[in-house]
Amino acid sequence: MRALFLAAALLASTAAHAQYASKQPGEPQFRALFKEMVETDTSLTTGSCTALAGKLALRFKAAGYTDADITQFSVPEFPKDGGIVVHLKGSDAKVKPMLLLGHLDVVAAKPEDWTRSPFTLIEADGYFYGRGTFDDKAQASIWADLMIRMKAAKPPKRTIKLALTCGEETTYAFNGADWLAKNRPDLIMAEFALNEGGGGRNGPDGKPQGLAVQVGEKTVQNFWIEAINPGGHSSVPRPDNAITDLAAAAVAVNRHEFPVQFTDTTRAYFTTLSKVMPDPVGPAMARLLANPADAEANRIVSLDPTNHSILRTTCVTTLLEAGHAENALAQRARANVNCRMFPGTDPNALKADLETVIANTKVSVSLKPPIRPVAKPTPLNPAIIGPMQAVAQQHFPGVPLLAMMSTGATDAIYITPIGIPVYGAPGTMIDADGNGIHGLNERISVRSLLQGRDYLSDLVAVLANPK
């Protein structure tokens, strides 16, 4: 699930959206792999990640990986939600492994709503169209292709582990990353991981505006807020009303502003922006960094919805259920409140905050499963960020790279608690309109995919061979 936003002030143009000559070998083979990935339906409703994991296993075996190098996994309760882990053994046992993480599953797509078939890879007008072409089969294909090519080359110093899992896109699905972290951490344990969530952004003219590495993310946690009432005949309404109580609670939650917080990543992010954003936003960012309680600076910076979300925990009502008959007073009314918790936030502490915000004993607040791990801030490790910047200047000269915290969520939430810092890698550029991710006619530009493959291939080579 990608979330990438870059400030408009960080404009830099180097190369237009046009034909691109890949610098890495094996482009035809990569295109064939990408096609197979996209054309294998892995949506929860109609597809199978297990089937795609099996196809990838055949490719890895053909490339020279043994059965001992490849682990396919699933559980009996969810036989179609399987994944695959592949190990490329390094030459230096003293250097800790690195993990390449991606997900095979995609959001469901209704073919009748699409201009083209969502599970047929179509190249047109400089784009690849199809469900998952961007999220996340672009990066997953790049990782798989790279592991296949590296098997035929000189072994890297680090052991490289690839984990392609299922369940990232669906809250209640079996989640392969979660399962690996809890049941087979040995398969994925690494010094650090590269994941989705970073990337870059193109402007309307197809020129890159900036690159981003995701360093940390919020935790998604849903809550039920619920009002219960004896009900009765609607011809005799009473002051105590479940719908009224719930509506007031929902309004209170939606209007509540949680306090400003910073991680090392978001502090560095806003420090950079404060120096380039025009007045009054830039100066307001500087004041807010100096004093998070500065209400006026908070107001100015938070006018941008993305900045507003990066700065704090946010909660919003997303679903409502109430009543049982047109001519009856509601006996029950409840709502789903979707919270994006700032790293380090305890969900039980947030539950108490919501109870205080609602301030009505007739409305209960409860945690709604699943209850995810508390997000830990990811360190701004120069041994990781430095190579990202250096390689970026080779592939995207003059384009700025920012470290940022995602307001969305990825499978990093399951990997970081077992001691693996996760970084959303830059390199694949998204258009300003979001490329139809999770929506209709999802696409990725051919240039973005191939240039991203070039960048990520070189980045992994550098990180896998530390000096």
> CATH 3.40.630.10 region(s) of the chain?
27-216+375-463
CA gyration radius for the chain? 24
Can you list the pairs that 262-268 forms with residues at least 24 positions away whose Cβ atoms lie under 8 Å? 262/289, 262/292, 262/311, 263/216, 263/343, 263/377, 263/405, 264/377, 264/379, 264/380, 265/215, 265/216, 265/377, 265/378, 265/380, 265/403, 265/404, 265/405, 266/310, 266/311, 266/404, 266/405, 268/380, 268/403
What are the backbone dihedrals phi and psi of residue 297, each rounded to the nearest 5 degrees, phi first? -65, -40
In terms of phi and psi (left: phi > 0; alpha: psi -120 to 50; beta: otherwise), the region of 176 is alpha
Confidence (pLDDT) at 204: 81
Are 225 and 253 within 8 A, CB to CB? yes
> CATH 3.30.70.360 region(s) of the chain?
219-368
Other Cβ atoms less than 10 A from the Cβ of 370: the count is 12
Other Cβ atoms less than 10 A from the Cβ of 242: the count is 23
Confidence (pLDDT) at 206: 78
Confidence (pLDDT) at 375: 85
Below-50 pLDDT ranges, the chain: 2-17
Confidence (pLDDT) at 18: 58
Sequential DSSP letters for 384-413: HHHHHHHHHHHHSTT--EEEEEESS--THH
Q: Which fold, 219-368?
A: Alpha-Beta Plaits (3.30.70)
Distance CA 37, CA 43 (A): 12
Structure tokens at 136: 């996340």
Distance CA 80, CA 174 (A): 10
The dihedral built from the CA positions of residue 239, 243, 248 and 249, taken in this order, carries a sign that is positive
Superfamily covering domain 27-216+375-463: Zn peptidases (3.40.630.10)
- Which amino acid belongs to residue 320? L
pTM: 0.90
Confidence (pLDDT) at 47: 98
